[in-house]
Amino acid sequence: MGSPAATLPVVGARYSRVVPTPSLPPRGTSTARSLPAVAAETGAVALGVAALGRLIMGPLRGFPAEDAVNVALQSHRTPARDRVTWALSTYSDTVPTIVVATALGGWRWWRGGDLRAAARPLAVIALETAVFMSAAAVVGRPRPEVIRMDRPAPTSSFPSGHTGATTALHLTIADIIAENGSRPAQFAAGAVRLAMPPLVGWSRLYRGMHHPSDVAVGLLLGVWSHRTVRRVLGAESTR
């Protein structure tokens, strides 16, 4: 049971009465109640992603129609594009992503002491990774048959974990930037939301690490991870 409701006096012309005001639940109660639902939703999303991957590998026979995209990108490689995509792909690797998320969470904690806000950067990465690893283990899709410019991770090509994690993290970063409320901050937040996920996805395609459908599903997975964590932990609240 919650704490006793507070009361406020209401004074009329000839009498006064007491009107109860609703008490708020203890902080964190709604989050705790949401965890089973989030776990169930995560399992359902992982099953859906895995089923889509098996559809590609089974009835669609690997979806060879999209291979032309990887071949075309390989034929248009240039030294300048190689350098740009190397920077984007390296930035979205596992270690840099965890470092950025940890540093951002630590800064949020130091700035305002809000544990929920501090947890969000790592939470979006953890949620995306849980679905990605579960689905990749079931799908087992090989990498595109082009010259790969990076050393591939020992996971399935489907879905793109780099794209998913980058999307989830940078949508969260954009939320933090938008807290400022100024017009330049809103513009910068929009740029981060719209630029970083597709740029990293393009770099992974360009460097021969993923098929287009891998990147597309990774991007959607990142959006879902961000929205789910935002719904459970709430929007950033400190400034």
Average pLDDT for residues 106-118, to the nearest whole number?
89
pLDDT digits (tens, 9 = 90+) for 59-73: 999 999 999 999 999
pLDDT at 30: 59
The answer to whether the CB of 175 falls within 8 A of the CB of 238 is no
In this prediction the pTM is 0.82
- Does the structure show a pLDDT above 90 at 152? no
Residue 221's pLDDT band, with cuts at 50, 70 and 90, is: very high
Between 18 and 47, residue with greater pLDDT: 47
Q: Is the pLDDT of residue 18 over 70?
A: no
pLDDT at 4 over 50: no
**Residue 226: what pLDDT?**
97
Q: Which of 26-35, 119-128, 154-163, 176-185 is predicted with the least confidence, judged by mean pLDDT?
A: 26-35
| Predicted local confidence at residue 1, as pLDDT | 45
Is pLDDT above 70 for 7?
Answer: no
Q: 206 pLDDT exceeds 50?
A: yes
Read off the pLDDT band of 189 (50, 70, 90).
very high
- Rounded CA separation 113/126 (Å): 21
pLDDT of residue 235: 57
Q: Which of 20-29, 85-94, 122-131, 227-236 is predicted with the least confidence, judged by mean pLDDT?
A: 20-29
DSSP the chain: --PPPEEEEEE-SS-EEEEEEPPPPPTTHHHHHHHHHHHHHHHHHHHHHHHHHHHHHTTTTT-GGGHHHHHHHHHT--HHHHHHHHHHHHHTSHHHHHHHHHHHHHHHHHHH--HHHHHHHHHHHHHHHHHHHHHHHHH-PPPPSS--SSPPPSS-SSS-HHHHHHHHHHHHHHHHHHTT-SHHHHHHHHHHHHHHHHHHHHHHHHTTS--HHHHHHHHHHHHHHHHHHHHHH-S----
Query: What is the pLDDT averaged over residues 147-160?
Result: 92
pLDDT of residue 32: 63
